[in-house]
Structure 1
Amino acid sequence: MEYTDSLQTALANLTATYEPLFAEQENIEYIQDHSRIDSNPALIPVDAIRRNIENLLSNALKFTDSGSICVRSFTLNGCLTCEVKDTGKGVPEDLTESIFEGSQLQKSSGGIGMGLPSVKTLSKSVECRNRQDGLPGSVFSFTIEFRGVQSDESYHEISEGEQSTAGGDISNQQSAIDYFSKSYKEEHGEPKLQAIPYKILLCEDDKLQMRMLEARVKKISPQAIISKAENGAQGLEHLRGHTVAKEPIALILTDFNMPIMDGETMCLKAVKKGYIDMAKCVIFTANPEALSTSFKGRVIDKSDSATLRTLLSSEQF
């Protein structure tokens, strides 16, 4: 949970960060509507909301060639609901109930729903339906609980006698900010960023996910030199080139599911060829059971920003 003095402003600022990406899409209008959301202070799971919106927007972009993609949010009874509505190809009716399930569904659905299992994991509830307004497309939504903060007094009433998962009472708005900052530092420590640049290879076929991953890496490790690949085959060629040039890649951050060659296959081939050590291979997936027993590197969920920060802030690179 993170404190914001305006839930409406926080959501508007969050969805506005994707505007540059949509500026590159000539045939798709990006619409944002937060008119039905509280403008009051609140404690919200910012990272979960961000990751969910990223997954829903990237899914919509994959299957929308023209028209519009709208992200809308509203609040009701202590819950925040965000929905992404597109004018894409829609979802087969027999998949609307199971679209948020795991890898077996994703393989049989032609790529629809990649990343959606993590949305379900991070949410109180999820929903998928096709549009009912005569237009093609689908609507994906998720609901997350939050804590409203009306004033110092009411905030104290909410928090009094309660312990957060990290422990400790929170009595007012300013102490909330200090509390969560202190709690994070106690759990993960201060980032230890070395001055010497190191090279990171990012492999991700989804443009939105790549943009967000790159921004996250740059924020945590501004000194890192980033190479990017859209699939495992391209990533393997990057690794070969850097090795030949005697400028080896220090860390691979790769998606698992990619066309041509998946992230696991790329890592296994790279290790076998001596391009990188297995310990420097990190695969993003919400379904670690899908990987083979041959992969001995790190596996983390894309939504796990805390682990990514700890990894990039370590001194091993």
Structure 2
Amino acid sequence: FQVQEQAILWPHQRWVRLSILIDITEHKQIEHAFRSSEERFELAMKGASNGLWDWNLETNKVYFSPRYKEMLGYQESEFKNDLEEWRRHIHPEDLNVCITALNNYLEKQVTKYEATFRMSHKNGHYLWILSRGFAIWDQQNKPVRLVGTHADITGQKEIEEALKQALATAEQAKQAADVANRAKSTFLANMSHELRTPLNGILGYTQILLRDNTLSAKHKQGIQVIEKSGEYLLTLINDILDLSKIEAGKVELSPNRFVLNEFLQGITDLFRMRAQQKGIQFSYQPLSPLPPVIYVDEKRLRQVLINLLGNALKFTTQGSVNLRVGVEQGKLRIQVEDTGIGISPTELDKIFIPFQQVGDQHYRTEGTGLGLSITKKLVELMQGELHVKSALNKGSIFWIVLDLPEIANEESLFSGIQDIPVPIIGFEGEVKCILIVDDKLESRLILIDFLRTLGFSVIEAASGKEAMEKAVCYRPDLIMTDIVMPDINGFELTRQIRNSADLKDTVVIAISASVFEHHQQESFQVGCDDFIPKPIRFQQLLERLQAHLNLIWIYQDMDFSVKVKPQVRLETSLDCLGPPAEIAQLLIEFAELGDVGSIMQLIETVQADHQELSLFFQKIRELAGNFDLDEIADLVRVYL
């Protein structure tokens, strides 16, 4: 109960005390319930690690719960319940964030109050706080009270910041990797071009010389050694390029049918010669009857064997290297054994890691550490297995196991084998004119020598500008252009050709030492009809020429095998004038007499007065320099 007392002055100046006893049981119950509810809410907030705040907007008084103050490291009495205390503890950079969030909510621009900011701890560091609250509105829709919670989200913020830094670090690493990849791609492109260009000369002329039937067997054997060595060097160059492609998932197998014995014989001949140079024994032994024909990616299988046998020879200084091949349960097993330095058990797992080299330091300097990594990846691409056994100072055995198609299908396998092509010595029909464009003289000479022996009329240009001038003058049937040239490159030259009304239908084949697909794709995008990589394979070139020019070849063993005489076709146009009749007559007479000196002297005498004939005189000089006097006579007669 509650007692209320009051003094009352009665009549006659008499004071009386009036006591009133009020039953406040219900009020006390409500008060107790409210206090219990508040305690439970405070316990709940504490259990949730949250603090409670209560702001009376009419009196501007604020209440911070004990848990609120505890979060900031303060006792109840150390943190005042006023707004200035709250302001002092907010990070200076975040105060506007809090005030803006409150105003936006109270002005009903947003449906809830929520703000994230930093508050100083008693120890001096800052905590990240997530503040949430709601308002109580009066009947006039005016906010009178704002109640909310504070949650310590410092740990969450630290995780977010760590993640942000990790992402930034990852992005930096990605950018660095992209830069490195671009640098690698540029290096590979340059290396490929610079190394393949001289190889084009080596392999190009070996193909030309091997067509010469006047060479002795000894000379041909020597040229074949040069060719195989060049092919081996080209394979080594391709190793680095292939690793890049394999790791990028861009290598696709191209299975084909080929004669296994011939394939193995070629490999054996190459490495027997290298073994003899080192003074070690090399042997090839079939372990079982072998299928005459197999269906595998011949190029990749050759690459695998060259890598394995190359390693065996490199790490063997005495003893032998043996190649053993057999078929077991429909699987082809190719085994390479050597008596070399061997590999310790602790290092066996490292040998397939790119750029990882093991063993003696002397041998590490002889390679790149890519061969076995590439070999393993290629074998796996072919759905095969690569195994190794080795003992230190005793030698190593590497073997691969590949699935073979059913032997019962031998006839279908043989159907894919073409006979060795009979040498082509010419073609039927009118003479075709080909323009060769390359800034490298040796690259032009290879194609000129080869094509002229087949009866083509060949003209050449050392630059894109010169090529365009000669294309307008001679109107070739086909243009073969290198991509990389100093002034106008092959891409720009092709664009100009496609934009020319007179040349737009001319066949253009891009030739390049680059092996990157984007160069090949770009050549087609600018208008090239075909793409041939360097070093140029003449068989591939012949196939492309036949397809684009609709040629019918003349073979050496045909009854009508008359070699077509190389000619030059010069189509007149306003852009390429011919000489006056009197000069043409003199040129014919000197050509029929075989008088090259007089031809050169005549050109020197008249060219100053006939600047418009510069392209014509340039061609006559080229023909005279090559002693192609009959061609000069045939060419000039059209101007009489």
TM-score by length of 1: 0.47
Bigger proportion of residues as helix: 2
Larger Rg: 2
What is the TM-score with the length of structure 2 in the denominator? 0.25
